[in-house]
Amino acid sequence: MQRLEISDLITAVDPHSGRRLPVRRSEVVARLRAGGDRRAAGIVAGLPVDGDGVFDPRAVDRLLIGVHTELQRLSEELRMGERLVQVLGPLFTAIRAAGGRSGPYRLVDVGCGLGYLIRWLAATGALGADVELVGVDLDAALVGEAGRLAAAEGLDCRFVHGNAFALPKTATVFVSTGVLHHFRGPALGRFFQAQAASPADAFCHFDIAANRLAPLGAWIYHRARMRHPLGRHDGVVSARRAHSDETLLRAAGTAGIRPLLYEPGGTANPFCTTLRPVIGVRPQLEAPFRSALGRDARRLVGPEHLAPATR
Ligand SMILES: C[S@@+](CC[C@H](N)C(=O)[O-])C[C@H]1O[C@@H](n2cnc3c(N)ncnc32)[C@H](O)[C@@H]1O
């Protein structure tokens, strides 16, 4: 039985209007029990509701901001900023070299949460002054907190509440961290198709590498470093729900996009590879991207490298 993440169930937003929808605690508890996850059902049963049994939105927001603040520590410790720049730096070099469009370029972080990566990129200037940095999230509370932190830190970046694929100005490159495993079944294909159908040149989505050690590693890390039971629960479930290399390469390979996986399973040390990106580039960008990566280009594989049965 596929386990569910509590944070996916306790808030709901209309993806078109961005309006928050009421969520009934009893329905979430029943779903978790039906999935055999009594521990998660117990955590949810303790969350505050109003007289109609609907979650208190302010309490849920506070809780999710707290859990994401703890999650930020994971991004810091895994040096996610540096990992991102290792791939995005050469990607923007390739886009500049290909010359199809002039700057400024726009990087959009889909599901930015508290916006740690966008804020880190703004603070370090690592991608260059011609890359505009935008974080987008459907969750008003998280993206609101991201904007507040960026203002407090005096950073040159923007945070937008809404659907990252419905922005008035589109992205040059879409990026995300820890988002892909939330999309299940056909929703994963739709996530990539939305980007292929946009004028974007590329995407680069980091998520947990699906290997046998991932759930154990997640359990040890979350036990040691996360305080809230919801964060501990969802951290381990995320690792269990991580998509395989094959699933990601297949889903990302939509029309007009060349799908590539950086550090696929079997080539990298499973103790070190915790998050790795699936990348999609317009076909004419592949050669300049490989060239800009230099020696790191050997870490990149396409679907032709998969075993024939899974291709
Ligand atoms: C697990 S959180 C990721 C948080 C963040 N990236 C981090 O690493 O801390 C996933 C987020 O993706 C957001 N999301 C999903 N689809 C989205 C879309 N199309 N546009 C904007 N945000 C989206 C959800 O609202 C949710 O807050």
At 310 the pLDDT is: 53
Asked which of 25-39, 97-111, 146-160, 163-177 is least confident by mean pLDDT, the reply is 97-111
Residues 269-281 pLDDT 10s:
555 557 899 999 9
Q: Domain limits of the chain?
A: 6-55, 63-310
Ligand 1 atom showing the smallest separation from residue 64 Cα: 27
Three-state secondary structure readout of the chain: CCCCCHHHHCCEECCCCCCEECCEHHHHHHHHHHCCCHHHHHHHHCCCECCCCEECHHHHHHHHHHHHHHHHHHHHHCCHHHHHHHHHHHHHHHHHHHCCCCCCEEEEEECCCCCHHHHHHHHHCCCCCCEEEEEEECCHHHHHHHHHHHHHCCCCCEEEECCHHHCCCCCCEEEEECCHHHCCCHHHHHHHHHHHCCCCCEEEEEEECCCCCHHHHHHHHHHHHCCCHHHHHHHHHHHHHCCCHHHHHHHHCCCCCEEEEECCCCCCCCCCCCEEEEEEECHHHHHHHHHHHHHHHHHEECHHHCCHHHC
Evaluate: CB of 178 within 6 angstroms of ligand 1: yes
pLDDT over 70 percentage in the chain: 95
Flag whether pLDDT at 198 surpasses 60.
yes
At 269 the pLDDT is: 55
Ligand 1 atom showing the smallest separation from residue 7 Cα: 1
Question: Between these two residues, 171 and 216, which has the higher pLDDT value?
Answer: 171
Residues 170-191 pLDDT 10s:
899 999 999 999 999 999 999 9
At 270 the pLDDT is: 53
Residues 48-57 pLDDT 10s:
999 999 999 9
Query: Hey, whose CA ends up nearest to atom 11 of ligand 1?
Result: 111
CA of 109 to the centre of ligand 1 (A): 9
At 266 the pLDDT is: 64
Average pLDDT, the chain: 91
Kindly report the CATH number that applies to the domain delimited by 63-310: 3.40.50.150
At 305 the pLDDT is: 79
Mean pLDDT of 59-81: 93
Q: How far apart are CA 110 and CA 232, in angstroms?
A: 23
Instruction: For ligand 1, pick from 68, 137, 176, 193 the residue to mutate: most ligand atoms within 8 Å of CB.
Output: 137
Ligand 1 atom showing the smallest separation from residue 143 Cα: 27
Flag whether pLDDT at 99 surpasses 90.
no
Query: Hey, whose CA ends up nearest to atom 13 of ligand 1?
Result: 111
Per-residue burial over 114-146, b if 16 or more Cβ lie within 10 Å, else e, is bbbbbbbbbeeeebeeebbbbbbbbbbbbbbbb
CA of 298 to the centre of ligand 1 (A): 30
At 268 the pLDDT is: 57
Query: Hey, whose CA ends up nearest to atom 4 of ligand 1?
Result: 113
